[in-house]
């Protein structure tokens, strides 16, 4: 960020409860101990947010040039004296070197921004360690989940959440206000015992993605092996033909749509199972088993992976004609036809099949892109519940139906051609149809008025075996009410 930029406020109008500029924290002096990357970015953001900043360094003369001119850079003890809130932008290993400042720090708020290099690196969290070194101070854990880069990129970009915890409510409120004025969203994580959890957050590698990625890899491996047997091993064993060249593109390209298609159906299958459970038990208040709960929570990641595989399938398919093997096969076919004096090679049915297959595939990919885009938090947050559920549920099911049509047009009559069965193994696409068709069939059953009404009542609180007053919307959108029992 240039010095010119520093003069401009980074924060635009923010739609928040309460105007940050009128908060008690606004305009106060904030101390920063340390002059490294984080301290510098923090000082820049604080200055831009209207705070007075005083930086405490062991070598202020050397470091002063790195900070905006509005920030005062001085010795650590001097800086600490000028403020009540001090961000400790120093690594945990060096906390003990600050012990000389214990007297001047007494009674002040210390904000611990530190991170570790490993999950659960130390027995106690860094913040608890800092609190043990400075018992006369109030320690607040916070800001460690935002990087120096996020601090510099302003309110326009980057992660906006700042997780905060402390045993002192007042100190926590003060730090939360500072975060708000800086354009962040403070999230209260409770008391100091949460510090360990907060410190582990930046070290976690895609925690929500582990199961969906393993699932996608598992499916990929299964379908890849199946296709390898059919496309490479079978011709080698039966006709001694070397088809190894098919592995990098053809086998991968027949595997990817299978994974994409099955994964898409796995986004909607847990919803079907949840509805079945609710219908069976006649209540929505019974907890789902843990595995179903976990599955429901991972639907977004499973959907995004499905989109990823579908997009790769599209790119691979576009590249198919570029392959040398494809050109050789075309010439070979042309020569054969010329030798057999075949002039008309146009097969009307094949032409139509391919046209429909490609067109339907493009539409399915377009819908999947829409689902993927609207699952991003920034887009999802701009939609109301009805819009979100229309896109993710209704359009999602339409995408599943269109993907099924895409798969069926590919298959056309192949499922009934015995030459397509290699080692008695049916074509891969027929296997992939199993789960999606079950999901679609279940959805159709749930749409039937008698099932739909019952499900709707359950989701509005009606329970089997209990007399409850229920209110249901009629077809005209009006609400009707009545007394009912489970046996109705
Ligand atoms: P850094 O660039 O290495 O800066 C550390 C600073 O600590 C030094 O500039 C130094 O400033 C000060 N310091 C005080 N006593 C020290 C001592 N005895 N030995 C060495 N340095 C001492 O590190 P950083 O990236 O700014 O990170 C600072 C803290 O912020 C760490 O706890 C880190 O986990 C946390 N953090 C960083 C980021 C990030 O994106 N960088 C993100 C989240 C959290 P003086 O020489 O001026 O005293």
pLDDT tens track for 103-132: 999 999 999 999 999 988 899 999 999 999
- State the Cα–Cα distance between residues 295 and 178, nearest whole angstrom: 38
Residue 374 has phi, psi (to 5 degrees) of -75, -10
Which of 385, 133, 374 shows the shortest CA–CA distance to 112?
133
Q: Would you state the pLDDT for residue 378?
A: 82
Lowest mean pLDDT among 147-161, 228-242, 286-300: 147-161
Tell whether ligand 1 has an atom less than 6 A from the beta carbon of residue 94: yes
Contact assessment for residue 236 and residue 242, using Cβ atoms and an 8 Å cutoff: yes
CATH of the structural domain 209-460, one choice from 2.60.34, 1.20.120, 2.60.40, 1.10.3470: 1.20.120
Assigned token pair, 418: 């015995």
Q: Can you say whether residue 143 is alpha, beta or left, with left for phi > 0 and alpha for psi between -120 and 50 degrees?
A: left
Q: Can you say whether residue 341 is alpha, beta or left, with left for phi > 0 and alpha for psi between -120 and 50 degrees?
A: left
Q: Would you state the pLDDT for residue 101?
A: 97
pLDDT in tens, 23-41: 666 679 999 999 999 999 9
Contact assessment for residue 267 and residue 396, using Cβ atoms and an 8 Å cutoff: yes
Across 54-70, average pLDDT: 96
For residue 152, the CA-to-ligand 1 centroid distance in Å is 16
In this model, does residue 214 exceed pLDDT 70? yes
Domain ranges of the chain: 29-203, 209-460
Beta pairing class for 185-188 and 109-112: unpaired
Tell whether ligand 1 has an atom less than 6 A from the beta carbon of residue 392: no
Helix ranges, 201-298 (H): 210-228, 234-239, 252-281, 290-297
In this model, does residue 3 exceed pLDDT 70? no
Contacts 24+ apart (CB under 8 A), 99-108: 99/133, 101/76, 101/77, 102/133, 102/134, 102/136, 104/77, 104/80, 105/80, 105/134, 105/136, 105/137, 106/134, 106/136, 106/137, 107/136, 107/137, 108/80, 108/83, 108/84, 108/137, 108/138
Residue 33 has phi, psi (to 5 degrees) of -95, 125
Which of 31, 38, 35 shows the shortest CA–CA distance to 57?
35
Q: Can you say whether residue 158 is alpha, beta or left, with left for phi > 0 and alpha for psi between -120 and 50 degrees?
A: left
The alpha carbon of 342 is separated from its chain's Cα centroid by a whole number of angstroms, namely: 55
In this model, does residue 432 exceed pLDDT 70? yes
For residue 40, the CA-to-ligand 1 centroid distance in Å is 10
Helix ranges, 320-381 (H): 324-339, 348-374, 377-380
3-state secondary structure at position 329: helix
- State the Cα–Cα distance between residues 51 and 74, nearest whole angstrom: 17
| Percent of the chain at pLDDT exceeding 90 | 77
Residue 37 alpha carbon, nearest atom of ligand 1: 26
Across 439-463, average pLDDT: 94
Write the DSSP assignment of 25-88 as a string of letters: TTT-EEEEE--SHHHHHHHHHHHHTT-EEEEEESSHHHHGGGS-TTSEEEEHHHHHHT-SEEEE
pLDDT in tens, 261-270: 999 999 999 9
Q: Would you state the pLDDT for residue 18?
A: 53
Lowest mean pLDDT among 79-83, 147-151, 165-169, 404-408: 147-151
Residue 483 has phi, psi (to 5 degrees) of -100, 140
- State the Cα–Cα distance between residues 166 and 127, nearest whole angstrom: 9
Name the band, by pLDDT with cuts 50, 70 and 90, for residue 236.
very high
Q: Would you state the pLDDT for residue 154?
A: 64
Name the band, by pLDDT with cuts 50, 70 and 90, for residue 274.
very high
Tell whether ligand 1 has an atom less than 6 A from the beta carbon of residue 306: no
Tell whether ligand 1 has an atom less than 6 A from the beta carbon of residue 41: no
Tell whether ligand 1 has an atom less than 6 A from the beta carbon of residue 62: no
Across 323-329, average pLDDT: 94
Q: pTM for the full model?
A: 0.75
Mean pLDDT of the chain: 89
For residue 38, the CA-to-ligand 1 centroid distance in Å is 7
Q: Would you state the pLDDT for residue 14?
A: 37
Closest Cα to atom 11 of ligand 1: 34
Place of tokens 């490993």: 118
Which of 271, 276, 223, 291 shows the shortest CA–CA distance to 251?
223
Q: Which superfamily does 29-203 belong to?
A: NAD(P)-binding Rossmann-like Domain (3.40.50.720)
Closest Cα to atom 17 of ligand 1: 94
Q: Would you state the pLDDT for residue 464?
A: 82
Tell whether ligand 1 has an atom less than 6 A from the beta carbon of residue 39: yes
Residue 151 alpha carbon, nearest atom of ligand 1: 40
DSSP, res 391: I
Judging by beta carbons within 10 Å of its beta carbon (0-12, 13-18, 19+), is residue 123 exposed, middle or buried?
exposed
- State the Cα–Cα distance between residues 73 and 335, nearest whole angstrom: 82
Beta pairing class for 85-88 and 161-166: unpaired
Contact assessment for residue 83 and residue 30, using Cβ atoms and an 8 Å cutoff: yes
- Biggest alpha carbon distance in the chain? 101
Which residues share a beta bridge with 425? 422
Name the band, by pLDDT with cuts 50, 70 and 90, for residue 12.
very low
Indicate the top mutation candidate among 90, 95, 111 to test ligand 1's pocket, ranked by most ligand atoms within 8 A of CB. Answer: 90
In this model, does residue 222 exceed pLDDT 80? yes
| Residues present in the chain in total | 488
């Amino acid at each position: 960020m240039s010095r010119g930029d520093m003069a401009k406020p980074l924060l635009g109008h923010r739609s928040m409860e309460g105007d940050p500029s009128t908060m008690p924290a606004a305009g106060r002096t904030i101390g920063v101990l340390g002059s490294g990357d984080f301290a510098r970015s923090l000082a820049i953001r604080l200055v831009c947010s209207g705070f007075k900043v005083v930086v405490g360094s062991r070598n202020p003369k050397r470091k002063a040039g790195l900070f905006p001119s509005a920030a005062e850079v001085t010795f650590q003890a001097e800086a600490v004296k000028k403020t009540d809130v001090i961000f400790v932008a120093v690594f945990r290993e060096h906390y003990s070197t600050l012990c000389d400042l214990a007297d001047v720090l007494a009674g002040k708020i210390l904000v611990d921004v530190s991170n570790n290099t490993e999950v659960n690196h130390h027995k106690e969290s860094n913040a608890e360690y800092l609190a043990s070194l400075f018992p006369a101070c109030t320690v607040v854990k916070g800001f460690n989940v935002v990087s120096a880069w996020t601090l510099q990129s302003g309110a326009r970009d980057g992660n906006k959440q700042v997780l905060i915890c402390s045993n002192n409510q007042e100190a926590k409120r003060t730090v939360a206000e500072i975060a708000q004025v800086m354009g962040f969203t403070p999230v209260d994580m409770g008391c100091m015992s949460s510090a360990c959890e907060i410190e582990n957050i930046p070290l976690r590698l895609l925690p929500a993605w582990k199961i969906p990625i393993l699932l996608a890899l598992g499916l990929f491996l299964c379908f890849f092996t199946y296709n390898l047997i059919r496309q490479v091993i079978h011709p080698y064993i039966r006709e001694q033909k070397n088809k190894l060249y098919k592995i990098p593109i053809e086998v991968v390209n027949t595997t990817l749509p299978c994974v994409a298609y099955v994964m898409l159906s796995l986004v909607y299958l847990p919803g079907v199972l949840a509805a079945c459970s609710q219908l069976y038990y006649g209540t929505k208040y019974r907890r789902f088993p843990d595995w179903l709960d976990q599955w429901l929570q991972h639907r977004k990641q499973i959907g995004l992976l499905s989109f990823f595989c579908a997009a790769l399938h599209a790119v691979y398919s576009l590249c198919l004609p570029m392959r040398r093997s494809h050109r050789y096969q075309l010439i070979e076919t042309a020569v054969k036809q010329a030798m057999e004096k075949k002039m008309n090679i146009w097969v009307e049915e094949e032409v139509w099949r391919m046209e429909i297959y490609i067109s339907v595939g493009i539409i399915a990919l377009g819908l999947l892109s829409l689902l993927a885009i609207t699952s991003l938090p920034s887009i999802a947050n701009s939609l109301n519940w009805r819009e979100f559920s229309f896109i993710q549920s209704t359009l999602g099911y339409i995408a599943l139906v269109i993907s099924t049509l895409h798969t069926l047009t590919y298959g056309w009559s192949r499922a009934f051609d015995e030459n397509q069965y290699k080692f008695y193994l049916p074509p891969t696409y027929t296997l992939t149809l199993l789960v999606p068709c079950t999901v679609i069939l279940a959805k159709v059953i749930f749409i039937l008025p008698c099932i739909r009404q019952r499900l709707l009542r359950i989701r509005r609180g009606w329970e089997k075996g209990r007399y409850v007053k229920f209110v249901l919307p009629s077809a005209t959108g009006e609400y009707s009410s009545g007394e009912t029992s489970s046996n109705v």
